[in-house]
Amino acid sequence: MEQNDKNLVKILILLSLSALLLVCAVLEGYANSLTGYVIAFFAAVLAGCIVTAFTICTAHLIGLILFGFVIGFLTQAVGVTSDLWCYDHHAYIFAALSWALAAVTMEGISNIIRYKLKSLTDHPLNVLMILALLGTLLVTLALNDQWMERQGSVIQWPCFVHQKMPEEGSESIKSKLEPNAPFWIYYISLAGFAILMQARVPFTELLSLILAAWIMGGISEWLGATAKLWHFRTAVFPPLFLVLGCWPLEFLVIRGLAIRMKGSATILTCTPKTRPWDEWDELE
On whether residue 64 sits in a domain, the answer given is yes
| Structure confidence at residue 229 (pLDDT) | 85
| Structure confidence at residue 153 (pLDDT) | 37
CB atoms within 10 A of CB 183: 19
Q: Is residue 226 scored above 70 in pLDDT?
A: yes
On whether residue 153 sits in a domain, the answer given is no
On whether residue 127 sits in a domain, the answer given is yes
Distance, in Å, from the CA atom of 159 to the CA atom of 33, rounded to the nearest integer, reads 16
On whether residue 172 sits in a domain, the answer given is no
pLDDT over 70, % of the chain: 73
Q: Is residue 219 scored above 50 in pLDDT?
A: yes
Q: Is residue 11 scored above 70 in pLDDT?
A: yes
C-alpha to C-alpha distances, 270 to 213, 215, 266, nearest whole angstrom: 22, 25, 8
Distance, in Å, from the CA atom of 83 to the CA atom of 263, rounded to the nearest integer, reads 38
* Buried/exposed 47-72: b ≥16 CB within 10 Å, e otherwise: ebbbebbbbbbeebbebbbbbbbbbb
| Structure confidence at residue 242 (pLDDT) | 87
Amino acid letter, 282: E
On whether residue 250 sits in a domain, the answer given is yes
Where in the sequence is the domain holding 55, given as residue range(s)?
2-147+180-283
pTM of the model: 0.78
Q: What is the pLDDT of residues 163-188, one digit of tens each?
A: 544 444 444 444 343 457 788 899 99
Amino acid letter, 239: P
| Structure confidence at residue 251 (pLDDT) | 95
Q: Using only C-alpha atoms, what is the Rg of the chain?
A: 20
Q: Residue 156 — pLDDT band, cuts 50, 70, 90?
A: very low
Q: Residue 138 — pLDDT band, cuts 50, 70, 90?
A: confident
Q: Is the Cβ–Cβ distance between 194 and 256 less than 8 Å?
A: yes
Q: How many structural domains is the chain composed of?
A: 1
CB atoms within 10 A of CB 87: 22
Distance of alpha carbon 196 from its chain centroid, rounded?
19
Q: Residue 62 — pLDDT band, cuts 50, 70, 90?
A: very high
On whether residue 171 sits in a domain, the answer given is no
On whether residue 163 sits in a domain, the answer given is no
| Structure confidence at residue 175 (pLDDT) | 37
Distance, in Å, from the CA atom of 254 to the CA atom of 67, rounded to the nearest integer, reads 5
CA angle in degrees (0–180, nearest 5) for 248-110-134? 15
C-alpha to C-alpha distances, 49 to 10, 54, 211, nearest whole angstrom: 10, 9, 17
On whether residue 246 sits in a domain, the answer given is yes
Peptide bond into 158 cis (omega under 30): yes
Euclidean distance between the first and the last CA atom of the chain, given in angstroms as a whole number:
29
Is 27 or 237 the better-scoring residue by pLDDT? Answer: 27
| Structure confidence at residue 53 (pLDDT) | 93
Is 242 or 271 the better-scoring residue by pLDDT? Answer: 242
Q: Which of 270, 248, 250 is nearest to 260 (CA)?
A: 270
| Structure confidence at residue 161 (pLDDT) | 47
pLDDT (mean) for 266-271:
45
pLDDT (mean) for 272-284:
45
Distance of alpha carbon 164 from its chain centroid, rounded?
31
